[in-house]
Amino acid sequence: MQTIHWYPGHMAKAKRQLTDLIQYLDIIIEIRDARLPLISHNQDLEPLLKKRPNLVLLNKTDLADPEVTGRWSDWFAGKGVSVVQVNGRNGQGVQAIWPKLTQQFAGKQTPRALRIGVVGIPNVGKSSILNRITGSGSAKTGNLPGVTRGKQWIKRNGFEILDMPGLLPPKINNQEDGIKLALIGTIREEIIPTYDLALVLLENYGEQLFGWSKERIVFEHIEEKLQWYAKKRGFLLKGGAIDLNRGASALLNDFRNGQLGRISLELPPLDSGAESSSIAPAPR
Ligand SMILES: Nc1nc2c(ncn2[C@@H]2O[C@H](COP(=O)(O)OP(=O)(O)O)[C@@H](O)[C@H]2O)c(=O)[nH]1
Ligand SMILES: [Mg+2]
């Protein structure tokens, strides 16, 4: 597979917008994917994000291995980073952010309510979480000066939340990170065709997902794995050949929806290095 080069123009724009946005914020809530807690973060933007206190939400916990997510929470706690495990789809865990925010920021006397913004790379659940945070019973306040007409601060529990998530450009450090970001749907077909991605998924996580060895299923070749899956799903073409393309899309869909089980794609580093160092390889 070729080296991944992916940085479309709208991501450069997103970075500029984020820089503009941050000046209005007192607190940043950064949403990351619980399956990729470091890879779904852009460490290049740390100098920018570090200008403000930070709360990290590990979202999509329903799709991640709960034991691994627990280890991640401990790992972040060990670095002094506040994290909350959440599920943007059903709202689980979201209420736990309020005591965290109050704990961390109460006592700071400011002439006005502290202002919070939600940021994250594409598809991590920014809009879902923002809706949960600002949910029912919240009062809208004035427009945000300067930045985006029509965007508002929403009062909630003594804080003001910006009713617009900030888009972090994803950072692709290497091929493996790029593949993992593609697997969770951060970067779409543009860079890795679905067919290739399905093969990578089966190659790296197939055993974990399907337990082939227990059933003594042996493959000679990677493509046989996709054939196995497509056949299992009954995807046949006219004439009886197996529809591998349909198998590939279905496999990725099922994986992304959690229908194949809860799988974490990144493990906490064992070292005590900086947050952005040493990324665990895909289990083989
Ligand atoms: N399974 C699962 N899906 C989620 C969760 N949070 C968000 N999603 C889904 O992920 C997709 C992207 O969410 P969205 O809020 O639009 O992300 P954004 O691009 O960061 O704003 C949508 O299909 C959501 O329904 C979650 O905790 N679990
Ligand atoms: Mg969104």
SS3 call for 196: helix
Percentage of residues of the chain with pLDDT beyond 90: 63
Higher pLDDT, 105 or 185: 185
When pLDDT is averaged across residues 179-190 and rounded to a whole number, the result is 86
Looking at residue 34, what is its pLDDT? 98
Looking at residue 116, what is its pLDDT? 94
Looking at residue 112, what is its pLDDT? 83
Residues 161 and 58 both lie in one domain: yes
Structural domain includes residue 273: no
* Contact between 126 and 18 (Cβ < 8 Å): no
Residue of 31, 128, 164, 186 best suited for mutating to test ligand 1, as the one with most atoms within 8 Å of CB: 128
Structural domain includes residue 270: no
Structural domain includes residue 201: yes
Looking at residue 37, what is its pLDDT? 98
Q: Nearest 5 degrees, angle CA 100-CA 105-CA 64?
A: 30
In this predicted structure, the answer to whether residue 280 has a pLDDT above a threshold of 90 is no
| Boundaries of domain holding 46 | 9-167
Looking at residue 103, what is its pLDDT? 84
pLDDT-derived band at 279, boundaries 50, 70, 90: very low
Residues 117 and 212 both lie in one domain: no
Number of domains in the chain: 2
In this predicted structure, the answer to whether residue 78 has a pLDDT above a threshold of 80 is yes
Rounded-to-10 torsion of CA 220, 223, 226, 227:
-80
Name which residue sits closest to atom 17 of ligand 1, judged by CA.
125
When pLDDT is averaged across residues 100-106 and rounded to a whole number, the result is 83
Give the domain-ending residue among 167, 201, 231: 167
Say if ligand 1 is within 6 A of residue 17 CB: no
Question: In 3D, which of 126, 115, 124, 160 has the Cα closest to residue 141?
Answer: 160
Looking at residue 22, what is its pLDDT? 87
Structural tokens at position 232 = 């299992």
What residues contact residue 279 under an 8 Å CB cut-off, 6+ apart? 38, 39, 173, 176, 177, 266, 269
| R_g (Cα) of the chain, nearest Å | 21
Name which residue sits closest to atom 4 of ligand 1, judged by CA.
89
In this predicted structure, the answer to whether residue 151 has a pLDDT above a threshold of 80 is no
Structural domain includes residue 177: no
Residues 32 and 156 both lie in one domain: yes
Residues 41 and 151 both lie in one domain: yes
In this predicted structure, the answer to whether residue 144 has a pLDDT above a threshold of 70 is no
Residues 226 and 95 both lie in one domain: no
When pLDDT is averaged across residues 80-106 and rounded to a whole number, the result is 92
In this predicted structure, the answer to whether residue 157 has a pLDDT above a threshold of 50 is yes
Least confident range from 36-45, 96-105, 183-192, 242-251: namely 183-192
Looking at residue 23, what is its pLDDT? 87
Residues 157 and 234 both lie in one domain: no
SS3 call for 166: strand
When pLDDT is averaged across residues 97-124 and rounded to a whole number, the result is 86
Give the domain-ending residue among 107, 134, 167: 167
Residues 129 and 238 both lie in one domain: no
Say if ligand 1 is within 6 A of residue 88 CB: yes
Looking at residue 152, what is its pLDDT? 85
Looking at residue 46, what is its pLDDT? 87
* Contact between 284 and 204 (Cβ < 8 Å): yes
* Contact between 176 and 278 (Cβ < 8 Å): no
Structural tokens at position 199 = 């093969």
SS3 call for 114: strand
Instruction: Give me the CATH number covering residue 211.
Output: 1.10.1580.10
Looking at residue 145, what is its pLDDT? 47
What average pLDDT does the chain have?
86
Structural domain includes residue 267: no
* Contact between 212 and 262 (Cβ < 8 Å): no
Least confident range from 58-62, 119-123, 267-271: namely 267-271
Q: Does the annotation flag 126 for ligand binding?
A: yes
